[in-house]
Structure formats: C-alpha cells, structure tokens
Structure 1
C-alpha cells in the first residue's frame, strides 16, 4: 500500500503542468550503517546459559539504495518523496556447551521531506528534513531448532544533506547522507525493542524535467 501511494504521488506530479517545472526523479546507491549490534548480548547470554566458551560476529554496514522524486519549486526550496532500501546485516555465534546460530536484520523505509538549497559553483549545497515510515525485520535460528522472525514498524525524523553537481540542463549527480532517527528493531535475545539511527551514505544521479 505504501509503495502504491508513493507511485501515485510521483505520477500525479509528473502529469500536473503546475509541477512540471523543476521536477526531478533519481536513484542513489551506497551504504547503510547503525543496525543494532547484538554480539555482546549474545555472548553474555550463552555464557549465562552454561557455555564454557562463546563468540559472536556481525557485519557493521550494508549496501543500500533509494529511488526518489520531487520538485525544486524555487532555486532554494523544494520537496521530495522516496523509497529507501537500507539493506541487511548478518550475525552469527558459536559456543562450547550451548548452541550455534545466526541472525539477520533488514530495513526499508518511505520518506517525505522538505528541501533547502544554496547555489554553489555548478551545483548547490542542499539539506532535507522530513518524516519516514519504516519496516524492519529480524530473523534468527540456532542448531537446536529455535527459529524466529519478527517485524517492527516505526515512524520518525529523517534529515539529510549533500552536494548536487549539474552535468547538463537535464542531468545532475550528487553525493550525500541521510539519517533515519528512531527506527525500531526487535532484540531476539530478550524479545524487546530498541531505537536506532540508521545512516545512509549515497551517490546518485537525478534527471530533471
């Protein structure tokens, strides 16, 4: 339903003459970081359960991308909507006298934001601030038959910024960062939730109408 809503907004903007000027669509690719780190909790839980030795590892970042569209209403002010695929990170643990297992966190979000820009050289410095609606998932399993899969939904503040460089009247490249503050994740070690700030670092291209 969220994907349909975002598509309808972009289609309506493209088809409305009042929005044609300054409109853009684009895509970015980069990394996302800030996922919960469960290695310490996992090791402590295994030792507490009687393991004589335990270790855990987890990736710290993931490949991420986004698709977005919006409009610069003036040279300095605009708006944007987008879909953010924040990737996933894997973790695993081993122990002596207890279990061995693995887990994975993944996340995605939709955002709507206001844009502000300052012309600089052949491009502009820009910032954005708005809201996101996110879905996160946690999968975990071990060698004695335990398996779980839980999801969390959350909304929060999304802020970002970067620099856009114009290659031509229609094509612009950019590099920037987005922060998603207050994204909720489930903790499989004690079945509680935690709030994290995920950080995207991205480069991409926009097409201007």
Structure 2
C-alpha cells in the first residue's frame, strides 16, 4: 500500500498536533499510532487554540462530544454538536441528525439543502407579510436617590438609605425613612453582630428595609 501526504489537514492522536506529510507517509508512525496513548486532550487544545470552532461528532453516541465539552472554558464561543443519539436518548437517528443539521446551520455553516431534500417532497409554509413593529416596551425601574451617612447629635450613625423618587415613605410622608434604634432582642442581636463586624456603634434600624 502506498502512503501519500494528506490533502485535508487532520490532527494526530500520536503527537497531539497537526500531522506532517513525513509522519503520514512513515510506516513506523502508524505502528506507533496503533499501540500508543491517544492524546485527545492535546488534539482539542490544538484545534481550539485559535478562532471559534464548530466540532461535529460523526458517529453513534456522544462520547467524543462529551469529552470535548469538558475541555471548553466557561463562556466559550466554541460549539460541540453530536450527529447521532446516545443509546439512552429516545430520539430516532433521523430526528437527531436533523436537529444537528439545524444547529450547524444556525452556527452559520453552509448546508446543501438540495442534497438534504433530495428524494423527498416539501411544502412551503406562508409567513406573515407585515413588518415587525420595532418599538420598545420594557418597563424601566424607578430612578433612585441615595443619601450619604448622617450622624446624629448623640453620635448615632444612620445607615445609608435609598428612597425612590416621587414615592413618599408611609412613615412620615415626606420621602425620608424613619430610622430607630434596635428594640427587640432579635434586633439587638443583629445590631451587635453587625457592630462587631463593621466597627460602627450604635446602629440604627430602617423599619422598611
């Protein structure tokens, strides 16, 4: 059998990087390839080291795609797609392949739709002819005003309070929150814990907090 240099680049499971023409045409390389450790993690690190990639597992199950996802960092732009279902997946092979095809297309890859639809009949579905009204309907939160810390004549430090604009407080009706010293045992305990942690004493309570 004549060994030829590859026309399509592929990663070597033996070296963990792109195979060279010399390796691909060396019989000793393939002998070592048979009994050596598969360096899949190095392969994935190599292929995912540059631009965002779309990895498609071709074959039954999801073993390789699962291992590939374990190598992806958080918030990665890479995509990993399985083309056939896991043995415990209740979907048919056709449903899984069509789902994978749709995800590949959604990632911006070109699809030969004539080849996909070859030998089958498809019906056109009418879509709405009106233009979508691009008007924003989000409800914005009210603007909040913040007051700086205030010190009473007796040395009490009042915690910063925020008051919604144009929304008077039910305590006094003028937009300022009423602040009291702790009275109950629970309030005193919370105040003591907060005092020990912050070093501010004594603390005031905001009833509407």
Q: Which has the higher helix share?
A: 2
**TM-score, normalization: structure 1?**
0.16
**TM-score, normalization: structure 2?**
0.16
Task: Pick the structure with greater CA Rg.
Answer: 2
Q: Which has the higher strand share?
A: 1
